[in-house]
A and B are shown apart, each in its own frame.
Chain A
């Protein structure tokens, strides 16, 4: 899993909720931060930052629970890096 992606996602969440101490494996839904507005913002953030399009079948809550699961999603969607 890309550490960079994970850190960027975490930075975005923390940017929105600076007072909250959220770790990369904490369930942000359980912490009660998520409403449909923030969910939409998360999806837009991921699509923009990592230049990916999240297909409908990946738009599952489990993919967005933690910064870690979002980074894994980004990995799945990004083209495999080519070795040079």
Chain B
């Protein structure tokens, strides 16, 4: 009995790109259009992902992870993103929450949350955006007030991926004139969740608006420092990892477009010859092939720099995310074009890629913010 369970687990465990690909092809990709239609990820898949150990494998063994490196983590997120951007989005925000616990948590906080986040027993969400504050994170209004040795949180967070399902929210709030990160269990009194059912892309990512009304928390809810300088870093570090995951997911979208278009253009004929023999189609295919490789290499470079602890990973990640998300939006649009009317219908996945790719250009630092940040790199050496 025990060995049977172990065998089943072994087959399904995700620990590298190849095992992730098997898992995605078996449990995610064939069903992703259905997830989108239902507007949610079935609980059954969430359980399978937990059994596969996919939620936070970068956590150390003591906390239930396998100490996975960032390059491999990126490859796994790419594969998941190839299958379904909504599932990848859940993985992204969970990763951000788990990484923040690992990087900034006290030993007690790591013990309290590490295992639950590694096993998938507790799913995490990331709460920064508010109805009146997006790109300009410094404008957030949610507040954390010291009270009875702990904290009281008040505010509204909007567009929260997995907000409907998550068990714990990583909430950024104003504290002592700066911004701090707080872990808020969903079952705390005063936490109210309102689903956002209609969204352009990543339609199964269970988005919600989460309201915190006088939410009472203990002293250990504060994750990391609350001094001005350091708090900015918690946010920078967390967003950096989220951006990395979105970059990998964008590579996955381009790969999915490529796979779909290669299959479709081989099958579909016009005037007696397959689409693939048309030069204008070939031009589109060649650009997809080239961009998916370029994007994958930029992502891998960012991952390698992360594994080395090299500070230049932050800019490398911005660049990878900018390139990959922009390319994903272009190629998803072309993929729909190549599929013609079928591209607009529900039977092919390319319409979903198109919707999802657009979202990639907005989240985790919109394209405009990316361009501003990356441009600053051009002038850095000129001192101002």
Contacts and interface: CB of A to CB of B under 8 A. Distances in A.
Q: Interface residues of A: mostly helix, strand, loop or mixed?
A: helix
A40 B236 contact: yes
A37 B229 CA distance: 11
Interface of A: 16-20, 36-37, 39-45, 47-48, 56-57, 59-61, 64
A40 B240 contact: yes
A18 B384 CA distance: 11
Nearest to A21: B383
A61 B228 contact: yes
Contacts of B237: 40
26 contacts: A16-B380, A17-B383, A19-B381, A19-B383, A36-B232, A36-B235, A37-B314, A37-B373, A39-B232, A40-B237, A40-B240, A42-B311, A43-B233, A44-B309, A44-B311, A45-B311, A47-B309, A48-B311, A56-B104, A56-B224, A59-B224, A60-B227, A60-B229, A60-B230, A61-B230, A64-B229
Contacts, number: 65
Interface residues of B, number: 27
Contacts of B230: 56, 59-61
Interface of B: 104, 106, 224-225, 227-230, 232-233, 235-237, 240, 308-315, 373, 380-383
B223 to A, nearest CB: 9
Contacts of B224: 56, 59
Given A37-B373, A56-B104, A59-B225, A19 B240 contact: no
B88 to A, nearest CB: 24
A56 B307 CA distance: 22
A31 B174 CA distance: 26
Contact of A48 (B308, B315, B381): B308
Given A19-B382, A39-B232, A60-B230, 11 more contacts: A16-B380, A36-B233, A37-B236, A39-B236, A42-B311, A47-B309, A48-B310, A59-B233, A60-B227, A60-B229, A64-B229
